[in-house]
Structures are given as structure tokens and as C-alpha cells.
Structure 1
Amino acid sequence: MIIEIADIAVQPEDKDAFAEAIQRAARTVLARSPGYRRHIIFASHETPGRFVLQVEWDNLEAHTVGFRQSPAFAEWRAIIGPYFARPPHVEHFDVVVSG
């Protein structure tokens, strides 16, 4: 299992519209992707317009190849991309400890 963490910035005035768009995109596009397990979307209290997306994938390739190189990625970006204040910062993590 691999965890994708995406740190996403949108304009504060777009935060409600983005929250709706990313929820819809996750439900209709992301969740259909092979290797997808689950996701959590966080919205910051301290920094309006900052979101963190956590996605659990079967393995790194499920995200970097299976999803990002598929037509689903273009669909995903078409829904949420117009809200980005700048490109998201994305990293992949291994779980060390889970409580």
C-alpha cells in the first residue's frame, strides 16, 4: 500500500466551490480507478483555501501509471484543476505506524 498526499491551494473565495468539485471528482472519477482503496479530503481552518488530499493506493504504480497516465486523470483535472491557485505538491508515502 502507498499513500499519496496532495497539498492543494485554491483562492479562499473559491474554497466552497472547490470542496464540492473535489468531492464529486473523487466519487465519480478517482474511486473508479484500479488500485484505488480510499481517500480523505482535509480543509484547513488556519489557511482558507488550503486542502490536503490523502489517497490510499494498492501500490505506487496504481497512482503514477494506472491513474495519472489514464483518461481518468484528464477528467479529474478538468473538474478540479480550474480552481488551483498553483500546481499541487504531491508526494507518496509508506505507512510506518498506524494506530
Structure 2
Amino acid sequence: MILEAVMLQVKTGLEENYENAFRQASKIISSMPGYITHELQRCIEGKGNYLLLVSWESLEDHVIGFRESSEYQEWKKLLHPYYDPFPVVEHFEKVRIS
């Protein structure tokens, strides 16, 4: 499993609209092969700051399966207009500590 982590900055005053659009977009991502789960967290200290966490079965499920799909084009239409600056996506794997 890999974890996609994205810090998002939503344009001032558009937070409520963004959250509504994200609810719609959630249906898209959750239908994709390799998808496990996702959550959107709203920052308490910084208005318009969000953290998106998505668990995927593999890196390829995200960067190829989702990002190269027609569904991703709909995801982009719904969400990308809200971001400024455009977010950096990073992928993480669990470190064994025992």
C-alpha cells in the first residue's frame, strides 16, 4: 500500500464551494481500481489549507490507473480551478519499526 499526501491551498472565499466539489469528486476517486480509502482534512490554523490523504494498493494505481484515466479529467474539472498554488503530490510507504 502507498499513501498519497497532498497539501492543498484553496483560493480565499471558495472553501465551501471546494468542499462541495470535493464531495462530488470523491465518488470518482473511490470508484478507481486500486483505490483503498481517502480523507480530506481542513486545517484549523490556516484558512483554505487542506490535507488530502489517499491510500492506493500501488503507486501505479495512482499515477497510471487514475491519472491517465478519463475519470481523472472529470476530477481535474471539479477541483483544480480552486488551487493556488497548484499542489505538490507526494507518495509514502510505511516504514517497519519492529
Shift of 1:8: 0.9
The 2-side partners of 1:90 and 1:60 are apart by: 12
The 1-side partners of 2:88 and 2:46 are apart by: 16
C-alpha change, 1:23 and 1:96, in structure 2 (3 Å) is farther
Which one has the bigger helix percentage? 1
- Give the aligned partner of residue 53 of structure 2: 54
Q: Tell me the secondary structure at the aligned position of residue 13 of structure 1.
A: coil
Q: What runs of 5+ residues in structure 2 fail to find an aligned partner?
A: none
Shift of 1:83: 0.8
Where in structure 1 do 4 or more consecutive aligned residues deviate above 2 Å?
Answer: none
Question: What is the identity, as a one-letter code, of the residue corresponding to 1:48?
Answer: K
Q: What runs of 5+ residues in structure 1 fail to find an aligned partner?
A: none
Compute the TM-score of the two structures, normalised by the length of structure 1.
0.92
Compute the TM-score of the two structures, normalised by the length of structure 2.
0.93
